[in-house]
């Protein structure tokens, strides 16, 4: 089974950072995990020249990592808001 790699991306154009999902040795991400303005998870898939095949384990890993990421993003936002007071 191919292993997944997650990379956090900070971008000043967005309120929250986001994560890109790659296969372990992949150079291009096949998915982005973001946080909406409503503080919900959002998953965006990218077009790819090769089919992307995900197992149930992959989906479980993606969801687990996404939930952890959401928690961290919201905590970072709360810490920043407290700092700015």
- Give pTM, 2 decimals: 0.83
pLDDT for the residue numbered 68: 95
pLDDT for the residue numbered 82: 62
Question: What confidence tier does 85 reach under pLDDT thresholds 50, 70, 90?
Answer: low
Q: Please tell me the distance from the alpha carbon of residue 84 to that of residue 72, in angstroms, as a whole number.
A: 18
Residue ranges covered by each domain of the chain: 4-84
Note the pLDDT tens digit of each residue in 14-60: 888 899 999 998 899 999 999 998 999 999 999 888 889 999 999 99
- Residues with Cβ within 8 Å of 17's Cβ and at least 6 positions away in sequence, in order, are 8, 9, 10, 11, 73
């Amino acid at each position: 089974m191919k292993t997944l790699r997650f990379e956090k991306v900070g971008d000043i154009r967005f309120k929250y950072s986001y994560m890109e999902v790659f296969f372990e040795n992949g150079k291009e991400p096949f998915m982005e995990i973001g946080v909406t303005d409503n503080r919900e998870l959002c998953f965006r898939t990218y077009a790819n020249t090769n089919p992307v095949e995900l197992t149930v384990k992959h989906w479980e890993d993606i969801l687990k990592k996404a939930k952890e990421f959401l928690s961290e993003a919201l905590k970072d936002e709360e810490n920043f808001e407290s700092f700015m007071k």
